[in-house]
Amino acid sequence: MNESIGDIVLEKAPKNAKYTSPDIKKNILNIISNQVRTMIRKEIGDAKFFILVDEARDASNKEQMTIVLRFVDIDGFLRERFFTIVHVTDTTAATLKKEISDALGRYDLYIHNMRGQGYDGASNMRGSWNGLQGLFLRDCSCAYYVYFFAHRHQLALTAAAEKEVSICYSFQN
């Protein structure tokens, strides 16, 4: 639908170019995800924000952490945006803090603008002295910790979905 893209991709591209190799697909997805994060950053503007973080092992047994941002937009509406998935070498509080700070810093989102943090009940996350909560509170005393209750709901829904055949089928398609 975009003439300039159509001209390059359809008219000037080699006729054998299919752009279907795994590396090309990953590059395209990286470009798109960076654009989405840039748009989220613009949407946040100078607003204060709240982070929701959870970590788990993926199918290949690697630790990964998701970061979701919650903020009030310029029109006064509460927004919640999935921001990124970060692969982490371990789940110590110090490593998680560094990775979160780095991921946010790449888009000029700074810890001193954080007004809340939400995690599950794992000790590396909620520990008030050496947990992620405590580490962020040392840098920003306004970043209050809230237990991430949605984590419990996700676990309950997953357990229910595994037992109910009709629910399993709806997620397979």
**CA–CA separation, 81 and 95 (whole Å):** 23
Identity of residue 75: D
Q: What is the pLDDT of residues 41-72, one digit of tens each?
A: 999 999 999 999 888 887 788 888 899 999 99
pLDDT band at 80; cut points 50, 70, 90: very high
Going from N- to C-terminal start, the domains of the chain cover 46-172
Predicted local distance difference test score (pLDDT) of residue 164: 66
Predicted local distance difference test score (pLDDT) of residue 173: 46
pTM of this prediction?
A: 0.74
Which of 148, 151, 150, 125 lies closest to 137 in space, CA to CA?
125
* Architecture of the domain spanning 46-172: 2-Layer Sandwich (3.30)
Predicted local distance difference test score (pLDDT) of residue 8: 66
- Cβ-based neighbour number of residue 20 at 10 Å: 7
